[in-house]
Amino acid sequence: MNRTVVEKSEEGFSKPSGKVSIGPPRLTKYERARIVGARALQISMGAPILVKLPENIKDPVEIALYELEKGVLPITVRRRLPDGTYQDIPLKWLL
C-alpha cells in the first residue's frame, strides 16, 4: 500500500512522508473521543451509515463506535506541533 503524507511548515509544503512522525503511532483517547462525537453528531443529523448494522445497535454513539471499529470512516487526523507544523494522518494508519 502506498502511504503518502504531506507535511506543511511555514515555508510551504515539504517532503511527503509515509509514516506517522508526530505523536504516537496509535489513535489517542482524545482523538478517538473527538472522532466518535463528531461522527455521532453527523449520524443524528441524518448522515448515511457506512456499514451494515446488527439489529441491537440503534444509538448514534454506538453506531459511530461500530464504524470506527470496522475502519470504514474516511477521516484524516491532523496532528500539530507548537512550531506550526502539522501532519495529516489517515485514520486507517492509526487503528
Residue 50 has pLDDT above 50, yes or no: yes
Q: What is the pLDDT of residues 24-37, one digit of tens each?
A: 999 999 999 999 99
The torsion defined by the Cα of 85, 71, 2 and 84, in degrees rounded to 10, comes to 0
**Cα 89 to Cα 26, 50, 65, 80, 82, distances in angstroms:** 11, 20, 19, 11, 17
Domains of the chain with CATH codes: 5-94 (3.90.940.10)
Instruction: Tabulate helix, strand, coil % of the chain (nearest 5).
Output: 35, 20, 45
Q: How many CB atoms within 10 Å of residue 82? A: 5
Q: What is the pTM (predicted TM-score) of this model?
A: 0.76
